[in-house]
Amino acid sequence: MLAIETHGLTRLFDGKPAVSDLSLAVPGGAFYGFLGPNGAGKSTTMKLLTGLLAPTSGRASVLGHDLADGRRALEVKRLVGVVPDGLSLFERLTGVEQLRLHGQLYGLPRAEAARRADELLVAMELTGDAGKLVGDYSHGMKKKLALAGALIHGPRLLFLDEPFEGIDAVAVSGIRRMLQELVQGGQMTIFLTSHVLEVVERLVTHVGIIQHGRLVAQGTLEEVRGAGTLEEVFIRTIGEDLTNRRLSWLVEPGAGG
């Protein structure tokens, strides 16, 4: 079964398409990397798939639920976890309070929410900061806390929008292993956006590339990458033009003045 399936998914802003005629096919149990340059439509797509935005046209199905059906869309919210690019955390709560609240909002009994919160704090190396106010956390710590909050209810599908931004390399390595184990163990499907292509290439099983709101490539990592690296394929696919990136005053003899 497909965890995510869209047909002709389109979203307009002031008459201009942010996402246009998008047809995604994300298999259940996949680690799907959704790639594209800035402004390509990645975050808009994620908002459409999580019910935060309504499409202008087209349809989307998540975990077998049609998002056009209001009751089904509500059920989807119970089954997914989301780490958005713009973090939304309660900065006057402590880290442990934040996680316990997340768990209880998803219907976990108080004791179970507390148990899972403690386990997640260990996994994210935040135990020593559990009693600090979230407002005093660094950006990287907030990212890890947001990921912990997205995992606490055991989602079947996890949406991650730039999850590694601002996190140190050691922490990224540990989180990467944890996410891979969740996918390989059959617990969930992961839909990831990131600009760090080296990390994406080590993580994902499937790839989609979007440009100007349109899907320009999709398939397994091996199908999309071919004999090259993911970075090479990405640059070739989006047609990046490097010819005008030179700074004349730095490369032309005597131009510095």
Contact predicate 165/178, CB 8 Å: no
Q: What is the pLDDT of residue 253?
A: 66
Q: What is the pLDDT of residue 252?
A: 67
Q: What is the pLDDT of residue 248?
A: 75
Q: What is the pLDDT of residue 215?
A: 95
Q: At what angle do helices 139-151 and 110-123 cross, to 10 degrees?
A: 140
State both tokens at 247: 């700074």
pLDDT 10s digit of each residue in the chain, 257 long?
A: 899 999 999 999 999 999 999 999 999 999 999 999 989 999 999 999 998 899 999 999 999 999 988 888 888 888 999 998 777 899 999 999 999 999 999 999 999 999 999 999 999 999 999 999 999 999 889 989 999 999 999 999 999 998 887 788 887 888 888 899 889 888 799 999 988 888 899 999 999 999 999 999 999 999 999 888 999 999 888 876 555 667 777 766 665 55
Q: What is the pLDDT of residue 132?
A: 96
Burial environment of residue 254 by CB neighbours within 10 A (0 to 12, 13 to 18, 19 or more): exposed
Identity of the amino acid at 132: K
Q: What is the pTM of this model?
A: 0.89
Contact predicate 183/190, CB 8 Å: yes
Q: What is the CATH number that goes with domain 2-90+159-239?
A: 3.40.50.300
Q: What is the pLDDT of residue 217?
A: 94
At residue 21, the 3 state secondary structure works out as strand
